Chains A and B, each alone.
Chain A
């Protein structure tokens, strides 16, 4: 008989024991180790993924921060540029103002100098002309001329306008004596003619006080309060001097105006 039943039973028991032993020492342990390793590998993968995700996030954050910084730096640069431009414009404007101020001051002083010089020249010219005329008339003056001057004065008295005539009448009717200044010494006849003419105007006796005034050069004058009735060369000369001065003033002013415009044009050209 090939089968020994005791051995069969013993082998069954042996095999069951072997199953238990191998389960205890081999399968359970090995499978546990494999599972643990797989779990740890999976865990490591997860960790790596999480780390990768974190890294990606931090990369994004850094990129965003970098962009912000760049934008900010651009903004600051722009601001600085603007400020610099503004500052430059201010400085240029101030410099221009300064230059303009100095130039206009210089021009003004120049103008003043020129005007003063021109005025002086005009006055000198007028005075010179008047002086020459005076000199000539002084040399020409004589009794006939004085007589002619009186005649002219009397004619002028006749041709007075109403207001002057009234003023003269008021002055004549006053108690105080009326001063009559003449470039030449009036003789009695001449004095009477004058007194007559004035009496004719006022319609009564007149009280006159005669005075010799060689500075009148030629002619005579009557001083009323606030008014002067006169015909004298001095008067003419003064008027002539005034007119010459006025004319000179006008022409000088026009010259000065041109002169002022010219530098401005030059300045504009240089600015362009």
Chain B
């Protein structure tokens, strides 16, 4: 209801809710709520990791964060088939930010920044840049760019289109899910204010978490596919070395 107060039911994007602007610079609801989410994440991380224990006794928050971080690392390891360390900050932050933004919709008055196409587009752009960045870092410019003309030069436009379209899909999928969830909740509140919106809110939480997971996993899959060729080559060399070692042994 507060969210309704803040954002009209007709407002599709929180971008439209501008608190302050000077020429083309403006502070809208998307940016402000992003800052809040960022602040909460950082504050939670700082509070939990302030007195980190490497001994036997753990604080509950540290334990919780360790579980979260370890789970993310395991997921990344499963997808990348390798060390999760280089991907964790990027993919983990995507998941944590989106998950928190979606999770906080349970609080009245919260405007999820992920319900703004600008935010999701920004995140998708980050993935769009991040994928070749990881690919080039792993394989070098030539090898990475060479992938776009495989199996033939004819595939180049297709590959580029595919890259762009999946970025677009990332952005729109998240935006559509979250925005529609918020709108449906708002509309249902107007129609049947009791019980039913609660169910929809719960469903929205589930959707929000799933969307966070999907976004992060897809980003990781894209990055992994860019990195994998190199990995496969390394793996092959490693296997051969091992086989040789076994023969010698």
Using a CB–CB cutoff of 8 Å, the interface residues on chain A facing chain B are 2-12, 14-19, 21-23, 25-27, 29-34, 36-37, 40
Contacts and interface: CB of A to CB of B under 8 A. Distances in A.
Contacts of A16: 126
B126 A27 contact: no
Contact of B25 (A3, A6, A37): A6
Contacts of B73: 31
Contact of B69 (A10, A15, A17, A27): A27
Given A6-B26, A11-B30, A40-B54, A22 B42 contact: yes
B205 interface: no
Interface in B97-126: 97, 113, 116-119, 121-123, 125-126
Interface stretch (B44-52, B139-147, B151-159): B44-52
Q: Is the interface of A mostly helix, strand, loop or mixed?
A: helix
Cβ-closest 9 pairs across A and B: A11-B122, A36-B54, A7-B118, A26-B45, A29-B49, A25-B45, A2-B117, A23-B89, A4-B15
A20 B15 CA distance: 25
A173 B68 CA distance: 165
A2 B12 contact: yes
Query: Chain B contact residues: over half helix, strand or loop, or mixed?
Result: helix
Contact of B90 (A10, A19, A33): A19
11 contacts: A4-B118, A5-B118, A8-B122, A12-B122, A15-B122, A25-B45, A26-B45, A26-B69, A27-B92, A33-B66, A34-B69
A194 B96 CA distance: 178
A14 B69 contact: no
A33 B41 contact: no
Contact of B65 (A2, A18, A26): A26
Contacts of B26: 6-7
A30 B46 CA distance: 11
A18 B119 CA distance: 13
| Most chain A C-beta atoms within 10 Å of own C-beta, residue among B54, B96, B113 | B54
Contacts of B121: 3, 8
Contacts of B25: 6
A21 B43 CA distance: 10
A5 B13 CA distance: 13
B34 interface: yes
A34 B49 CA distance: 12
A33 B93 contact: no
A15 B54 CA distance: 30
Interface in B145-185: 175
A8 B122 CA distance: 5
B55 interface: yes
B117 A6 contact: no
B62 interface: yes
B137 interface: no
Given A6-B26, A10-B122, A29-B45, 10 more contacts: A2-B13, A3-B121, A6-B25, A8-B121, A8-B125, A10-B31, A11-B123, A22-B92, A25-B45, A34-B69
